[in-house]
A and B are shown apart, each in its own frame.
Chain A
């Protein structure tokens, strides 16, 4: 922990191989991304082969004539050796060819291109709502309840947030539909249309994560308020907002980001359920329908899309963490 001046010169003097810690960090992080991607792609490919029995027979039904099954197997390339299929799959991926839907005959890429924007707009809106509301809420709660003040506010906040966060997003969605669409009739019950159609799905998706993140922000911020450098900032007689926002808050972000990243990952998949509650024409409906119809090329592609989204969110969180907390980057490197 000590002796950085020595360490600095020594690091500079080291022979080739050890470079800028940022480059080392980025190199490692992208290597991890590539490995995760490779595993994801391979698993998506293997999925159809892991299905016990004949997946094509299962998809077409027991009554389908044997010739049809054979023809479909041939067209899916399932009769080739596994390694050849894998090669074809990979090259198809690079060409943007994800195969053809077994049920509709439409190229999978077209279906995804059509459905993904609806899901992405939903997910991004929820993400923005979470970030815009969770962090100020958590900070405000931390400032209000610092040093054991306002026990009542603290208790009220921690218990209500725990209660609401315990309700899974799709059940919350049902409750919201009942109140705002059925009983009050203010908002559409389902479907994707104007701005008003976004309100309930976004609220259902963001309520839980918002409260959970706000709780984390509060606890983290309270821990930071007690640290020496915050006292230093106060000793510099900075205005309170500057003490909180410039000094305390950025240092409270670290584990907020870590846990928040995990939450966002599960929120992405949470859209699957919420989309089905609201009959939202997005990827969530697609993946469920294709699973039910055993439309394997479409399922493969949908799993890829969701997995990719999760990996990208994780990457973003790690990069943000590195910027916010340079110590962790250098330690890791």
Chain B
């Protein structure tokens, strides 16, 4: 298995190049001094410092010696000394690196501190320092580069060893100031040996470059011996006479350094330290044409379009506006046939697949569903905040009577920035960690309403006070990490209130909070809704939370709306999925000795959605009809369900006996209609 890995690696471009280069250099190092060793020493007083000619491929040096041959012959010295220096660095580094694990805690810390101190200095400076001590010449330079490279290798060993040796050592390393990058490295690397081999290889490349540097400066290899660095130094002084004398050894150094680096890369690939990102080919968006998010297919308001438009909103509007058409100013948000598609390795997937959503002025609408049902993505898509790679399409997407896709970015920013507020799930990560909370609030009105710095700040403090952040003045000047989770979520709501929003979209606003704080945040949201008259869309996986808060509930499953109903009809939910969701909510009557009711199975992956009703595989009532896609249809006034077998009658009080509620549902609800 290993062998095939290596063979595969050799076939990759990086592996092939590194293997070819390195074997060429090794062959040269072995044979060049034997074949051309004498010829390279041959001086020719009649051809001093000549340019390239037929006789001398790269010209001659100041003593008339052939440059090309000297570069070839110098391969052995250059590579040999670099490898020797690397061996020294690796030996000393490994020794220093395992010390903390071997020694006691205190001595170990000392070793760590020593290495850290040394690592702060660039290796070349250390090499110069040691070159002074060990003297000028090849021996001194090998020792100097070897010892100078040891600290960084030692640190690598220390970190890797610490990862394996136990968490105590990790915290010691952290105390001693080991960088985050290192810790991440440790986290990624499963064991010690493989990263060390990779790094030793890369280090050999570095040693080669360093040696070239020292020899170039005259500190390394001394005449009559020569390596590439030495040749480079000699060639540079005659660069006008023969540039090749300086360039050829330089190219050799770069190529050899590259060979080592690429070899390290190849080894890393084979041992699995780096994963190569592979991307499959994308087909064309199936069933849909691929479009930019900004240009949706707008359904013409004809007979056909009107029938689509006679959706929920009409239903709802019919109740309030005696059956006439929807007053456009009544709806804050209208989305029709909303689809969100992502390119994937096996073509397009549609996590949101034809969702209709209408939110009326001052209304609170809850969207519920399991994770992966597409509820959050629906909210992000209508808010024009879907991820960059997503393609959002809708036949209608209106906010406050404005068709969002028809507006320029600047117009959208102005409209949405003042009228739509977002509250996100995780208040811990939703604030900019490096900016004061007050500034983050203030920039909303500074940007959209042109408030002065002072006025915007005052407004921010006022809003924080409004959402009951204690000591708002002082808190505004703090950073998010100084806030608790609940306080941050209140501040997030306060951020939404900087202007006067017509719509607040709260995406799982309480999920990351503990229960008591959850209640505070929900109460605050309700208060905001009452006082400002803003409509609220509350997204949650928790149907209990949604039913406390909302007037109307939209149930989503696998990217589609499966049921829509007013909260007071929840007890008569028609869709088996809604009923199962309700059945899985424990209450005070729940028998604690029984396992909590759950819905068996998992929601389908949006890429592998079954044809027809997506819930059918988990549904107790499913039969052959369910392989055809159900349509949202009225089952009661203001209640619609997308189901071939809508249930009627009250949902049984939870728990739905035992672990298989879906099986129990029919017996308690009296079977199919």
Contact = CB atoms under 8 A, between A and B. Distances in A.
Contacts, number: 196
A219 to B, nearest CB: 11
Nearest to B488: A4
B254 A167 contact: yes
Interface centre among A2, A167, A233, A291 (most CB of B within 10 A): A291
A311 B434 contact: no
A2 B489 CA distance: 13
A189 interface: yes
Interface in A201-230: 227-229
A35 B447 CA distance: 48
Contacts of B181: 255, 258-259
Given A147-B389, A324-B434, A43 B129 contact: yes
A32 B219 CA distance: 32
A231 B383 CA distance: 11
A216 to B, nearest CB: 10
A47 B133 contact: yes
Contacts of A6: 484
A82 interface: no
B159 to A, nearest CB: 15
Interface string B207-231: 0010011001111000000000000
Given A167-B254, A236-B444, A292-B136, A175 B247 contact: yes
A268 interface: yes
Contacts of A254: 180
B426 A228 contact: yes
A50 interface: yes
A277 interface: yes
Interface string A256-289: 0011000001101110110011000000000110
A177 interface: yes
Nearest to A328: B180
B122 A235 contact: no
B482 interface: yes
Contacts of A307: 121, 125
Nearest to B124: A269
B204 to A, nearest CB: 14
A265 B120 contact: yes
A254 B414 CA distance: 32
A330 B232 CA distance: 50
Nearest to B250: A171
B239 A182 contact: yes
Given A174-B232, A228-B424, A258 B179 contact: yes
A178 interface: yes
B120 A170 contact: no
A166 B254 contact: yes
Contacts of B258: 166
Contacts of B240: 182, 189
Contacts of B479: 326-327
Interface string B103-140: 00000000000000100111111001101110110000
A57 interface: no
Nearest to A258: B179
Nearest to B209: A168
B443 A272 contact: no
Nearest to A249: B434
Contacts of B482: 4, 8
A72 interface: no
Interface centre among B124, B132, B417 (most CB of A within 10 A): B132
A232 B218 contact: no
A224 B587 CA distance: 41
Contacts of A178: 239, 243, 246-247
Interface residues of A, number: 80
A239 interface: yes
A268 B122 contact: yes
Which of under 10, 10 to 19, 20 to 34, or 35 or more describes the interface residues of B? 35 or more
A269 B434 contact: no
Contacts of A182: 239-240, 243
B416 A276 contact: no
A254 B387 CA distance: 24
Contacts of A232: 422, 424, 430-432, 492, 495
B243 A291 contact: no
B383 A235 contact: yes
B105 to A, nearest CB: 20
Interface string A164-199: 001110110011011000110000010000000000
Contacts of A291: 128, 131-132, 136, 219
Contact of B253 (A36, A146, A171, A270): A171
A101 to B, nearest CB: 15
A84 interface: no
Contacts of B128: 269, 272, 287, 291, 303
Nearest to B441: A236
B317 to A, nearest CB: 29
B487 interface: yes
B430 A148 contact: no
Given A147-B389, A175-B247, A268-B122, A231 B428 contact: no
Interface in B226-262: 232, 236, 239-240, 243, 246-247, 250, 253-254, 257-258, 261
Contacts of B212: 168, 171
B447 A242 contact: yes
Contacts of A227: 429
Contact of A273 (B213, B257, B433): B213
A235 B216 contact: no
Given A174-B232, A174-B236, A299-B132, A237 B432 contact: no
B388 A266 contact: no
A39 B110 CA distance: 14
B466 interface: no
B412 interface: yes
A303 B431 contact: no
A5 to B, nearest CB: 5
Contacts of A47: 129, 132-133
B319 interface: no
A247 B416 CA distance: 19
A77 interface: no
A1 B253 contact: no
Given A166-B258, A231-B430, A269-B128, 10 more contacts: A51-B133, A171-B212, A178-B243, A229-B432, A238-B413, A239-B410, A250-B434, A266-B122, A277-B236, A310-B122
5 contacts: A146-B388, A236-B417, A238-B417, A250-B434, A291-B131
Interface of B: 117, 120-125, 128-129, 131-133, 135-136, 177, 179-181, 209, 212-213, 216-219, 232, 236, 239-240, 243, 246-247, 250, 253-254, 257-258, 261, 383, 385, 387-389, 410, 412-414, 416-417, 422, 424, 426, 428-435, 443-444, 447-448, 479, 481-485, 487, 492, 495
Pick the 8 closest A-B CB pairs, nearest first.
A237-B417, A147-B388, A235-B422, A266-B122, A228-B429, A237-B413, A269-B122, A269-B124
